[in-house]
Amino acid sequence: MLSYRHSFHAGNHADVLKHFVLVQLLQYLNQKAKPYFVVDTHAGAGLYALDHSHAVKNAEYEEGIAKLLASNNLPEPLKDYVQLVKRFNPNGGLLHYPGSPLIAQALMRPDDRLRLFELHPADSKLLEQNFEHDRHVKIEPSDGFAGLKAYLPPPPRRALVLIDPPYEVKDDYKTVVNTLKDALKRFSTGTYAVWYPMLQREESQELPEKLKRLDITHWLHVGLQVTTPTPDGFGMHGSGLFIINPPWTLHATLKAVLPFLTKTLGQDDGASYLLEQQTS
């Protein structure tokens, strides 16, 4: 199935959580001089016009990044992420939102490498256009689940892998687990960040527990619920990230920021967050 387009959801609460954490992960990798790879298995288009018909239809960014841009009391760790978004809107306002690929490109160094997979033909073409002059980026219009194994282990033995599928079909949940099992056999010391939607469906609720049972010793699980689940079970009420081999600093950073995100992005009394980790 190739019906999913992230342009309908760009800049929403899930993007805020995902991309804030992505900035934290990249900044941590940048503390060491040795180069690294970033592999994005479901890269999307890379950049989203918020005045485009897709984004305008639901205007989800108004309940996400727009609220952070309007805040006068951002916690310090959030400022780098918000400033990065502002770089894509140099005239002020909010007309563009950068996806994971452009956020990564903005923070990576000259010797680091970015590998992007995108199967949707329209988004893959846009992705190519957004990176046509960057020789450090390789784009593959193919299945990122299957293609990941070709880059593991990466030559520098340092890597961040972002796994962010649309979960259009139930099999995506199973494929995430199987993909990680294989990836960890090939490269057990890499950092892996898995995004998932909070839904009232069994597959979504069980995914974090299945990931905890992988052959791993260090993990962090963060979730942000922005609204009470609907009685009919329809729609996404939040999102989460499961991170394998996270930076040791990330738990404290999230602990400081999550109350602010919950208050700022919460849409009703059901807003809440979760934060748990295993360190050994």
Query: Catalytic positions, please?
Result: 164
3-class secondary structure, 215: coil
DSSP state of 217: S
Calpha distance 76→87 (Å, rounded): 18
On whether the CB atoms of residues 62 and 116 are closer than 8 A, the answer is no
What is the amino acid identity at position 89?
A: N
SS3 for 128-187 is: HHHCCCCCCEEEECCCHHHHHHHHCCCCCCCEEEEECCCCCCCHHHHHHHHHHHHHHHHC
């404290």: which residue's tokens?
Answer: 252
Helices 250-265 + 13-29 axis angle, to 10: 160
CB 147 within 8 A of CB 41: yes
Q: How far is CA 37 from the centre of its chain?
A: 16
Give the residue among 204, 258, 261 at the shortest CA–CA distance from 65: 261
- DSSP track, 41-100: SS-TTSEEETTSHHHHHH-GGGGTHHHHHT-S---HHHHHHHHHHHHT-TTSS--EEE-H
Residue 59 to residue 112: CA distance in whole angstroms = 34
